[in-house]
Amino acid sequence: MEKVQTGIVIEFYSNTCLVKVGKELIPCIAIKDVVVGDIVSIERISDSKEKKAKIVSRKKRVSLLSRRAKQKNKAIAANVSHIGILVTEEPKTSYEFVDKWLLTANLSGILPFIIENKVDLNSSDEFKEKIKVYSDLGIKIISISAKERTNLKKLIEYLDNKKIIFVGNSGAGKSTLTSALINKNIKTSALSNNQGVHTTSVSTMYEINMNTHIIDSPGVRDLPISGWEKDNIIKGFDEIFELSKYCKFRNCKHLKDKGCAVVENLKIHKINTTRYNNFIKFRDEELNEE
């Protein structure tokens, strides 16, 4: 048996984690800045009575999803390829919620897509218009009912060979969807370490197949974005960023500036008003909070 082995962190607790090496699950002593999804090198602890190891190093990440705040950034998951944003009419998913996650995904180098959940319920014209706004932006939208298992096959086909994290408001059906996809009730399942069921929030990676994984991380609904650089916020709004390249002046604030291509396109409805307002709010208000 090799002294140092490579595996992936599939569960993370406060200072310990569970690492999958091949088909084997190994409890490990964690090191600083390790999260679910990290590829790590581990070393067996030979004098331990139980199967145990320690992480000795972490491989370079492809991506890192974090809660970005002025005071402190908190890593959520590593090497995520896609973020699935659950959108529902009840409970209401706001434009602000979606735009924050689109911003975070774009600036984190992660591809976002939208899951329209609860399609078994009748949708209002207002909700349909909200979905259309993001569809018109070219964002992938998959309509499902997690409860009724409607269109889950289509979603699974899209998820193939991806590492995904689902985000949504309380009641949007994130746990129901994850449970349906992995055929396990994640609300009641015990964790895999030797300490029994945890009562604290724990991030976990589930496997749909060998190449497809879902990361479930409780507590990521509230998403501050004050940790992003103010000048980078516009890059989270693709349509606004592209039009900003045609502004007359490079230091354009996109408010009442002369020759502002963003404002001109806003007037003729080529930019959604709510999207524009969220861009200004994220850039000028939330980033100035103490």
Are residues 42 and 116 both part of a single domain?
no
Contacts for 62 with CB less than 8 Å, ≥ 6 apart: 78, 79, 81, 109
Strands 4-12 and 203-209: antiparallel
Helix axes 152-159, 174-182, angle to 10 degrees: 80
Contacts for 283 with CB less than 8 Å, ≥ 6 apart: 230, 233, 234
Q: For residues 4 and 45, what is the distance between their CA atoms, to the nearest angstrom?
A: 11
Q: For residues 192 and 145, what is the distance between their CA atoms, to the nearest angstrom?
A: 29
Are residues 17 and 157 both part of a single domain?
no
End position of a domain, from candidates 185, 216, 247: 216
CATH code of the domain containing 203:
3.40.50.300
Show the beta-strand stretches assigned E in 144-252. 163-167, 203-209, 212-216
Burial class (CB in 10 A: 0-12, 13-18, 19+), 280: middle
Question: Are residues 114 and 98 in contact, defined by beta-carbon separation less than 8 angstroms?
Answer: yes
- Which pLDDT score is estimated for 218? 74
pLDDT 10s digits, 196-253 = 333 335 789 999 988 999 999 876 677 888 899 999 999 999 999 999 999 999 999 9
- Which pLDDT score is estimated for 3? 81
Residues of the chain with pLDDT under 70: 1-2, 48, 187-201, 219-220, 286-290
Are residues 13 and 102 both part of a single domain?
no
End position of a domain, from candidates 187, 216, 245: 216
Are residues 187 and 75 both part of a single domain?
yes
- Which pLDDT score is estimated for 133? 97
113 CB neighbour count, 10 Å cutoff: 20
The reply to whether 224 falls in a domain is: no
Q: For residues 158 and 202, what is the distance between their CA atoms, to the nearest angstrom?
A: 26
The reply to whether 98 falls in a domain is: yes
Question: Are residues 186 and 178 in contact, defined by beta-carbon separation less than 8 angstroms?
Answer: yes
Q: Count how many domains the chain has.
A: 3
Are residues 54 and 68 both part of a single domain?
no
- Which pLDDT score is estimated for 265? 97
- Which pLDDT score is estimated for 219? 62
Q: For residues 38 and 78, what is the distance between their CA atoms, to the nearest angstrom?
A: 5
**Residue 93, token pair as written in the block:** 């998913």
Are residues 175 and 257 both part of a single domain?
no
- Which pLDDT score is estimated for 286? 53
Are residues 107 and 212 both part of a single domain?
yes
Question: Are residues 282 and 99 in contact, defined by beta-carbon separation less than 8 angstroms?
Answer: yes
Are residues 72 and 54 both part of a single domain?
no
Structural domain including 49 reads: 4-58
Are residues 211 and 256 both part of a single domain?
no
Are residues 70 and 201 both part of a single domain?
yes
**Residue 248, token pair as written in the block:** 């007359």
Are residues 75 and 25 both part of a single domain?
no
Are residues 261 and 133 both part of a single domain?
no
Sign of CA dihedral 227, 178, 275, 222: negative
